[in-house]
Protein backbone atom coordinates (compact mmCIF):
# COMPACT_ATOMS: atom_id res chain seq x y z
CA UNK A 1 0.00 0.00 0.00
CA UNK A 2 1.24 3.49 -0.80
CA UNK A 3 1.05 6.76 1.05
CA UNK A 4 2.41 10.21 0.25
CA UNK A 5 4.68 12.44 2.23
CA UNK A 6 6.69 15.58 1.61
CA UNK A 7 10.36 15.78 2.52
CA UNK A 8 12.41 18.89 1.93
CA UNK A 9 9.89 20.17 -0.59
CA UNK A 10 9.92 16.93 -2.61
CA UNK A 11 7.05 14.48 -2.90
CA UNK A 12 7.80 10.85 -2.18
CA UNK A 13 5.84 7.65 -1.63
CA UNK A 14 5.93 5.64 1.56
CA UNK A 15 4.42 2.51 3.04
CA UNK A 16 0.90 2.82 4.39
CA UNK A 17 -1.44 1.12 6.79
CA UNK A 18 -2.28 -2.62 6.83
CA UNK A 19 -5.10 -3.55 4.49
CA UNK A 20 -8.36 -4.96 5.82
CA UNK A 21 -9.55 -7.84 3.58
CA UNK A 22 -12.45 -6.50 1.46
CA UNK A 23 -15.68 -8.40 0.79
CA UNK A 24 -15.93 -7.64 -2.93
CA UNK A 25 -12.81 -6.66 -4.82
CA UNK A 26 -12.99 -7.96 -8.40
CA UNK A 27 -13.39 -5.16 -10.93
CA UNK A 28 -16.98 -4.91 -12.17
CA UNK A 29 -18.06 -8.25 -10.71
CA UNK A 30 -21.42 -8.25 -12.50
CA UNK A 31 -22.19 -4.57 -11.88
CA UNK A 32 -21.29 -3.25 -15.34
CA UNK A 33 -24.93 -2.41 -16.15
CA UNK A 34 -26.12 -1.77 -12.58
CA UNK A 35 -28.02 1.33 -11.50
CA UNK A 36 -25.66 3.78 -9.71
CA UNK A 37 -28.03 4.18 -6.75
CA UNK A 38 -28.01 0.41 -6.22
CA UNK A 39 -24.22 0.22 -6.23
CA UNK A 40 -23.94 3.25 -3.93
CA UNK A 41 -26.32 1.53 -1.49
CA UNK A 42 -24.18 -1.62 -1.55
CA UNK A 43 -21.07 0.46 -0.90
CA UNK A 44 -22.83 2.31 1.93
CA UNK A 45 -23.82 -1.01 3.47
CA UNK A 46 -20.30 -2.42 3.28
CA UNK A 47 -21.12 -5.08 0.65
CA UNK A 48 -18.71 -3.50 -1.87
CA UNK A 49 -15.34 -2.33 -0.57
CA UNK A 50 -13.06 -2.79 -3.58
CA UNK A 51 -12.34 -1.03 -6.86
CA UNK A 52 -15.28 0.34 -8.84
CA UNK A 53 -13.57 -0.30 -12.19
CA UNK A 54 -16.04 -1.80 -14.65
CA UNK A 55 -19.12 -0.87 -12.60
CA UNK A 56 -22.05 1.19 -13.94
CA UNK A 57 -20.21 1.68 -17.19
CA UNK A 58 -22.86 3.95 -18.75
CA UNK A 59 -22.42 6.45 -15.91
CA UNK A 60 -19.71 8.89 -14.97
CA UNK A 61 -17.51 7.90 -12.04
CA UNK A 62 -15.79 10.64 -10.07
CA UNK A 63 -12.67 11.32 -8.08
CA UNK A 64 -13.31 12.88 -4.68
CA UNK A 65 -11.39 15.66 -2.94
CA UNK A 66 -12.61 17.20 0.33
CA UNK A 67 -10.83 20.21 1.82
CA UNK A 68 -11.60 22.84 4.48
CA UNK A 69 -13.64 25.74 3.14
CA UNK A 70 -10.66 28.09 3.58
CA UNK A 71 -8.79 26.02 0.94
CA UNK A 72 -11.74 25.47 -1.40
CA UNK A 73 -11.37 28.51 -3.66
CA UNK A 74 -7.70 27.74 -4.32
CA UNK A 75 -8.54 24.14 -5.10
CA UNK A 76 -11.32 25.14 -7.50
CA UNK A 77 -8.88 27.37 -9.37
CA UNK A 78 -6.33 24.54 -9.41
CA UNK A 79 -8.98 22.30 -10.99
CA UNK A 80 -9.92 24.91 -13.60
CA UNK A 81 -6.26 25.44 -14.52
CA UNK A 82 -5.63 21.70 -14.85
CA UNK A 83 -8.78 20.44 -16.50
CA UNK A 84 -7.22 17.34 -18.05
CA UNK A 85 -6.37 15.97 -14.60
CA UNK A 86 -9.21 17.63 -12.69
CA UNK A 87 -12.37 17.98 -14.84
CA UNK A 88 -14.68 19.63 -12.32
CA UNK A 89 -18.16 18.11 -12.09
CA UNK A 90 -19.42 19.63 -8.84
CA UNK A 91 -18.42 21.62 -5.77
CA UNK A 92 -20.56 21.08 -2.67
CA UNK A 93 -21.76 23.54 -0.07
CA UNK A 94 -19.65 23.66 3.13
CA UNK A 95 -20.61 20.90 5.55
CA UNK A 96 -23.07 19.23 3.18
CA UNK A 97 -22.47 15.58 2.25
CA UNK A 98 -25.07 15.80 -0.52
CA UNK A 99 -24.42 16.52 -4.20
CA UNK A 100 -26.66 17.32 -7.14
CA UNK A 101 -25.19 14.74 -9.52
CA UNK A 102 -26.10 11.72 -7.38
CA UNK A 103 -29.63 11.67 -5.97
CA UNK A 104 -29.85 10.49 -2.35
CA UNK A 105 -26.09 9.96 -2.09
CA UNK A 106 -23.89 10.71 0.90
CA UNK A 107 -20.27 11.62 0.11
CA UNK A 108 -19.21 10.35 3.55
CA UNK A 109 -20.36 6.76 3.03
CA UNK A 110 -20.79 6.13 -0.71
CA UNK A 111 -17.16 5.66 -1.73
CA UNK A 112 -15.85 2.13 -1.22
CA UNK A 113 -12.62 3.32 0.36
CA UNK A 114 -11.17 6.70 1.32
CA UNK A 115 -7.90 8.33 2.25
CA UNK A 116 -7.76 10.81 5.11
CA UNK A 117 -4.89 13.31 5.07
CA UNK A 118 -3.48 15.40 7.91
CA UNK A 119 -1.13 18.18 6.82
CA UNK A 120 -0.49 16.47 3.52
CA UNK A 121 0.18 12.95 4.81
CA UNK A 122 -2.12 9.93 4.55
CA UNK A 123 -3.12 8.91 8.08
CA UNK A 124 -6.18 6.69 7.64
CA UNK A 125 -7.79 4.63 4.86
CA UNK A 126 -11.34 3.91 6.08
CA UNK A 127 -14.50 2.77 4.29
CA UNK A 128 -16.61 5.50 5.94
CA UNK A 129 -15.56 9.07 6.76
CA UNK A 130 -18.48 10.34 8.83
CA UNK A 131 -16.23 10.63 11.88
CA UNK A 132 -13.76 12.78 9.91
CA UNK A 133 -16.35 15.10 8.33
CA UNK A 134 -16.47 18.70 9.56
CA UNK A 135 -18.85 21.63 9.30
CA UNK A 136 -16.42 23.38 6.93
CA UNK A 137 -15.83 20.36 4.65
CA UNK A 138 -16.21 21.19 0.95
CA UNK A 139 -16.34 18.28 -1.51
CA UNK A 140 -15.17 18.39 -5.11
CA UNK A 141 -16.14 15.71 -7.62
CA UNK A 142 -13.80 15.39 -10.58
CA UNK A 143 -14.34 13.29 -13.69
CA UNK A 144 -12.65 9.88 -13.93
CA UNK A 145 -11.19 7.88 -16.82
CA UNK A 146 -13.42 4.93 -15.89
CA UNK A 147 -16.06 7.01 -17.69
CA UNK A 148 -14.51 6.45 -21.12
CA UNK A 149 -13.92 2.73 -20.75
CA UNK A 150 -17.38 1.83 -22.05
CA UNK A 151 -16.65 3.78 -25.23
CA UNK A 152 -13.36 1.93 -25.68
CA UNK A 153 -14.91 -1.46 -24.98
CA UNK A 154 -17.79 -0.72 -27.34
CA UNK A 155 -15.30 -0.04 -30.12
CA UNK A 156 -13.59 -3.36 -29.54
CA UNK A 157 -10.58 -1.85 -27.79
CA UNK A 158 -9.41 -4.26 -25.07
CA UNK A 159 -9.07 -3.08 -21.46
CA UNK A 160 -6.28 -5.27 -20.12
CA UNK A 161 -6.73 -4.32 -16.45
CA UNK A 162 -10.42 -5.26 -16.47
CA UNK A 163 -9.71 -8.53 -18.28
CA UNK A 164 -7.17 -9.38 -15.57
CA UNK A 165 -9.36 -8.17 -12.67
CA UNK A 166 -6.81 -5.51 -11.76
CA UNK A 167 -6.86 -1.82 -10.80
CA UNK A 168 -5.60 0.42 -13.59
CA UNK A 169 -1.90 1.34 -13.05
CA UNK A 170 -1.12 4.96 -12.14
CA UNK A 171 2.22 6.79 -12.31
CA UNK A 172 3.64 10.09 -11.07
CA UNK A 173 5.16 11.94 -14.03
CA UNK A 174 7.72 14.70 -14.53
CA UNK A 175 4.99 16.99 -15.94
CA UNK A 176 4.14 19.86 -13.61
CA UNK A 177 0.57 21.03 -13.07
CA UNK A 178 -0.23 24.73 -13.26
CA UNK A 179 -0.21 25.97 -9.64
CA UNK A 180 -3.05 27.83 -7.95
CA UNK A 181 -2.62 29.37 -4.52
CA UNK A 182 -1.19 26.73 -2.20
CA UNK A 183 -1.88 23.85 -4.63
CA UNK A 184 0.84 22.56 -6.97
CA UNK A 185 2.53 19.31 -7.93
CA UNK A 186 3.18 16.79 -10.71
CA UNK A 187 0.64 15.21 -13.02
CA UNK A 188 -0.40 11.61 -12.33
CA UNK A 189 -1.40 9.44 -15.30
CA UNK A 190 -3.18 6.15 -15.86
CA UNK A 191 -1.85 3.59 -18.32
CA UNK A 192 -3.85 1.41 -20.66
CA UNK A 193 -1.95 -0.83 -23.10
CA UNK A 194 -3.66 -0.50 -26.48
CA UNK A 195 -3.01 -2.58 -29.63
CA UNK A 196 -1.09 -0.33 -32.02
CA UNK A 197 -3.72 -0.39 -34.82
CA UNK A 198 -6.36 0.83 -32.34
CA UNK A 199 -4.44 3.69 -30.72
CA UNK A 200 -5.79 6.36 -33.09
CA UNK A 201 -9.35 5.21 -32.41
CA UNK A 202 -8.75 5.31 -28.63
CA UNK A 203 -7.43 8.87 -28.94
CA UNK A 204 -10.45 9.91 -31.02
CA UNK A 205 -13.05 8.35 -28.72
CA UNK A 206 -11.63 9.64 -25.46
CA UNK A 207 -11.07 13.09 -26.94
CA UNK A 208 -14.86 13.36 -27.21
CA UNK A 209 -15.25 12.81 -23.43
CA UNK A 210 -13.54 15.74 -21.68
CA UNK A 211 -15.24 15.05 -18.33
CA UNK A 212 -13.47 11.66 -18.32
CA UNK A 213 -10.02 13.31 -18.77
CA UNK A 214 -10.34 13.51 -22.56
CA UNK A 215 -7.64 12.37 -24.98
CA UNK A 216 -4.34 10.88 -23.80
CA UNK A 217 -1.57 13.19 -22.63
CA UNK A 218 1.13 10.87 -24.00
CA UNK A 219 1.52 7.82 -26.23
CA UNK A 220 4.59 5.60 -26.31
CA UNK A 221 7.95 5.91 -24.54
CA UNK A 222 7.20 6.32 -20.84
CA UNK A 223 10.63 7.78 -20.03
CA UNK A 224 9.67 10.93 -21.96
CA UNK A 225 7.27 11.78 -19.11
CA UNK A 226 9.55 10.68 -16.29
CA UNK A 227 8.30 7.13 -15.69
CA UNK A 228 11.22 4.80 -14.98
CA UNK A 229 9.56 1.38 -14.71
CA UNK A 230 6.09 0.49 -16.01
CA UNK A 231 6.17 -2.67 -13.91
CA UNK A 232 6.23 -0.62 -10.70
CA UNK A 233 3.27 1.79 -10.74
CA UNK A 234 2.96 4.34 -7.94
CA UNK A 235 -0.69 3.36 -7.47
CA UNK A 236 -2.87 0.49 -8.70
CA UNK A 237 -1.64 -2.82 -10.10
CA UNK A 238 1.13 -3.62 -12.61
CA UNK A 239 -0.01 -3.43 -16.23
CA UNK A 240 -0.73 -6.39 -18.49
CA UNK A 241 0.74 -6.11 -21.99
CA UNK A 242 0.03 -8.32 -24.99
CA UNK A 243 2.44 -8.44 -27.93
CA UNK A 244 1.81 -5.43 -30.16
CA UNK A 245 0.40 -3.23 -27.38
CA UNK A 246 1.49 0.41 -27.05
CA UNK A 247 1.47 2.25 -23.69
CA UNK A 248 -1.14 5.03 -23.73
CA UNK A 249 -1.35 7.50 -20.84
CA UNK A 250 -4.28 9.61 -19.69
CA UNK A 251 -4.35 12.34 -17.02
CA UNK A 252 -5.56 10.95 -13.69
CA UNK A 253 -7.68 12.25 -10.83
CA UNK A 254 -5.14 11.03 -8.27
CA UNK A 255 -3.17 14.16 -9.23
CA UNK A 256 -4.86 16.23 -6.45
CA UNK A 257 -3.51 13.84 -3.80
CA UNK A 258 -0.01 15.03 -4.64
CA UNK A 259 -1.19 18.64 -4.64
CA UNK A 260 -2.53 18.05 -1.11
CA UNK A 261 0.96 16.95 -0.06
CA UNK A 262 2.22 20.37 -1.18
CA UNK A 263 -0.69 22.45 0.20
CA UNK A 264 -0.73 20.61 3.55
CA UNK A 265 -4.24 21.54 4.73
CA UNK A 266 -4.95 20.48 8.34
CA UNK A 267 -7.22 17.76 6.96
CA UNK A 268 -8.40 16.49 3.61
CA UNK A 269 -10.26 13.45 2.31
CA UNK A 270 -9.96 11.73 -1.07
CA UNK A 271 -11.09 8.47 -2.60
CA UNK A 272 -8.62 5.59 -2.39
CA UNK A 273 -7.09 5.11 -5.88
CA UNK A 274 -9.44 3.05 -8.04
CA UNK A 275 -12.34 3.36 -5.55
CA UNK A 276 -14.52 6.03 -7.11
CA UNK A 277 -17.78 7.85 -6.39
CA UNK A 278 -20.41 6.74 -8.92
CA UNK A 279 -22.67 9.56 -10.12
CA UNK A 280 -26.03 9.59 -11.88
CA UNK A 281 -24.55 11.44 -14.87
CA UNK A 282 -24.48 9.48 -18.11
CA UNK A 283 -20.99 9.22 -19.56
CA UNK A 284 -22.00 11.52 -22.41
CA UNK A 285 -23.69 14.52 -20.80
CA UNK A 286 -24.05 18.18 -21.76
CA UNK A 287 -24.56 20.07 -18.48
CA UNK A 288 -21.86 20.73 -15.89
CA UNK A 289 -22.44 21.58 -12.23
CA UNK A 290 -19.56 23.73 -11.02
CA UNK A 291 -20.83 24.78 -7.60
CA UNK A 292 -23.77 24.24 -5.30
CA UNK A 293 -23.18 27.65 -3.73
CA UNK A 294 -21.91 29.87 -6.53
CA UNK A 295 -23.87 32.86 -5.24
CA UNK A 296 -22.67 32.49 -1.68
CA UNK A 297 -18.87 32.41 -1.95
Say what percent of the chain tops pLDDT 70: 86
- 121 and 172: one domain? no
Same domain, residue pair 198 and 90: no
Residue 136 is assigned to a structural domain of this protein: yes
218 lies in some domain: yes
Could you tell me how many residues make up the chain? 297
**For residue 106, pLDDT beyond 50:** yes
Question: Is 163 found in the same domain as 47?
Answer: no
pLDDT at 291: 53
Where residue 64 falls among pLDDT bands split at 50, 70, 90? very high
The model's confidence at residue 129, banded by pLDDT at 50, 70 and 90, is very high
9, 37: one domain: yes
DSSP-based helix, strand, coil % in the chain, nearest 5: 25, 25, 50
- Domain identity same for 275 and 225: no
**Other beta carbons within 10 Å of 180:** 19
Total of domains in the chain: 2
Structural contact between residues 257 and 170, judged by C-beta atoms closer than 8 angstroms: no
pLDDT digits (tens, 9 = 90+) for 193-245: 999 999 999 999 999 999 999 999 999 999 999 999 999 999 999 999 999 99
Can you give the CATH number for the domain in which 161 is found?
3.30.2040.10
Q: Is residue 294 part of a domain?
A: no
Is 184 within a domain? yes
140 plus 7 within the same structural domain: yes
Q: Residue 288 domain-assigned?
A: no
Contacts (Cβ under 8 Å, ≥6 apart) of 154: none
Whether residues 96 and 221 fall in one domain = no
Decide which of 54 and 271 is more confident.
Answer: 271
Q: What number of helices (H) and strands (E) belong to the chain?
A: 6, 13
Sign of CA dihedral 197, 55, 257, 183: positive
Q: Are residues 126 and 82 in the same domain?
A: yes
Q: Residue 28: left (phi > 0), alpha (psi -120 to 50), or beta?
A: left
- Note the maximum CA span of the chain: 55
What does the pLDDT look like over 271-297, one tens digit per residue? 998 899 999 999 876 545 445 554 333
Q: What is the structure's pLDDT at 243?
A: 96
- Averaged over 35-47, what is the pLDDT? 96
pLDDT at 149: 87
**Cβ neighbours of residue 44 closer than 8 Å, sequence gap 6 or more:** 106, 109, 110
- Identify whether residues 157 and 139 lie together within a single domain: no
Q: Residue 62 falls within a domain, yes or no?
A: yes
Mean pLDDT across the chain, nearest whole number? 87
Same domain, yes or no, for 86 and 140? yes
Please check the confidence at residue 7 and state whether its pLDDT lies above 50: no
23 part of a folded domain: no
Q: Is the model more confident about 13 or about 76?
A: 76
The answer to whether position 266 is within a domain reads yes
Q: In which domain, by residue range, is 220 found?
A: 148-251
| Residue 285: exposure state from Cβ atoms within 10 A (0-12, 13-18, ≥19) | middle
Q: Mean pLDDT across the stretch 171-178?
A: 98
Same domain for 273 and 245: no
Q: Would you give the DSSP letter of residue 56?
A: S
Amino acid sequence: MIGLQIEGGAISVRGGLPEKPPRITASGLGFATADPAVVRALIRGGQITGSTAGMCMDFQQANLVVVPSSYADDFEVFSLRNTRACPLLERSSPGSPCVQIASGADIRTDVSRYRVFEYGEVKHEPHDVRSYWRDDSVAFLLGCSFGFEQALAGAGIPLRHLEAGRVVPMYVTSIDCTPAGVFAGPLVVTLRPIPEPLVAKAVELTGELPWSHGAPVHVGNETAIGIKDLGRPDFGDPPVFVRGDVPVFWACGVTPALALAVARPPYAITHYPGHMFITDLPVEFDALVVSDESDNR
